[in-house]
Amino acid sequence: MERFLGKVVQLIYIDRKRNVSIRNVRIISVKGKQFKAYCYSAGAMRIFNEDHVVDVEVSKQAGKA
């Protein structure tokens, strides 16, 4: 995830309850397998587990939920 630091990316993410979501986030920091990002759909900072990311790509709609 380090290569996405400071960028808005679109994630396909599976949470602990096995719910799948597509989120636009701005990657703030990376520490091990976790990364901190501003989640535009939640409107708040969130901690994500890299192992739960199915796909990631630089967002074409920066900042859109």
CA torsion through residues 13, 18, 21, 25, sign: negative
Pick among 1.10.10.10, 2.30.30.100, 3.40.50.300, 2.60.40.1250: CATH of 2-58: 2.30.30.100
Residues 3-48: pLDDT tens digits? 999 999 999 999 999 999 999 999 999 999 999 999 999 999 999 9
Residues with Cβ within 8 Å of 42's Cβ and at least 6 positions away in sequence, in order, are 23
DSSP run (H or E) holding 14: strand 8-14
Compute how many other C-beta atoms are within 10 angstroms of the C-beta atom of residue 2: 8
In this prediction the pTM is 0.84
C-alpha to C-alpha distance for 19 and 28, rounded to whole angstroms: 23
Distances (CA, A) of 9 to 17, 25, 54: 22, 6, 13
Domain ranges (residues) in the chain:
2-58
